[in-house]
Amino acid sequence: MGASACNDRGLRQATLLWGSGLAVTAYGAWAIRPGSDHPLLTLDRQGLQTAHAWRSDALDQLMAAVTWLGSLWLLLPMMLLAALALLYRRQHTLALFVTLGLLGASLLSHLTKLAVMRPRPDQFPLLTALPADWSYPSAHTMQATAVGVMVVLLAGRYRLPWATVATLLVLLVGASRVYLQVHFPSDVIIGMLTAALWVAGLHAWMRAQLEQQGPMQRGEEAR
């Protein structure tokens, strides 16, 4: 298959995945709109109630610590170090993939927050300081998911163990946002799906770019 055909296929795949992500986000925003009786809202109420019922001192401390795994204060320096390391190895496409994966997911989450303007939960007492921005979707969850999916996609022959670890950490971050009463379960679920589709689309685009390069350059990027 020619380089142009590979690029066209990659762009089609990326567009399909990104479009699916936008559709998921839009559907979630419609489902949680004011006055809605969508089952997601029932899940939200029951999820927050269950999280409150499970409260304990040990879980309070664990979830308060785990939730930082989705913070840009942690993930942004990690991303910068990874991108610099890839640039040093002349893996420019991978460096761009890592950078856009995290920053794009973060930007998407905050733009959606501004568009939807969903208030934060107030059903039970908070267990941490209430973030100043809107609730839908969860930026912590989207950022953690983006990093987790990128790690899995780039893990090569070690993909299975990394997938296990990444899935566990992403689920913990998402659960922590609900446990701390700063997000509804739907914020977390939609955030995970949207971020995963965003990164998957980027990966399809990245592979198409690598296919366009010559064998020597492609070999350097793949190392």
Rounded to an integer, the average pLDDT of 43-50 is 97
Is 50 part of any domain? Answer: yes
52 neighbors 181 (Cβ within 8 angstroms): yes
Is 19 part of any domain? Answer: no
Is 94 part of any domain? Answer: yes
Domain range for 124 is 39-222
* pLDDT surpasses 70 at 84: yes
Q: How many CB atoms lie within 10 A of CB 49?
A: 12
Q: Tokens 């689920």 label which residue?
A: 171
Rounded to an integer, the average pLDDT of 53-82 is 96
144 neighbors 92 (Cβ within 8 angstroms): no
Spatial distance between the Cα atoms of 74 and 82, rounded to a whole number of angstroms: 13
Is 14 part of any domain? Answer: no
Spatial distance between the Cα atoms of 223 and 218, rounded to a whole number of angstroms: 9
* pLDDT surpasses 60 at 44: yes
Longest CA–CA separation in the chain, Å:
60
Is 46 part of any domain? Answer: yes
Is 210 part of any domain? Answer: yes
Q: What mean pLDDT is reported for the chain?
A: 91
Is 13 part of any domain? Answer: no
| Predicted local confidence at residue 223, as pLDDT | 45
pLDDT tens figures, 164-180: 999 999 999 999 999 99
Burial of 31 (0-12, 13-18, 19+ CB in 10 A): middle
Instruction: Assign residue 153 the CATH number of its domain.
Output: 1.20.144
The count of domains in the chain is 1
pLDDT tens figures, 89-113: 999 999 999 999 999 999 999 999 9
Is 165 part of any domain? Answer: yes
| Predicted local confidence at residue 9, as pLDDT | 80
pLDDT tens figures, 103-149: 999 999 999 999 999 999 999 988 888 899 999 999 999 999 999 99
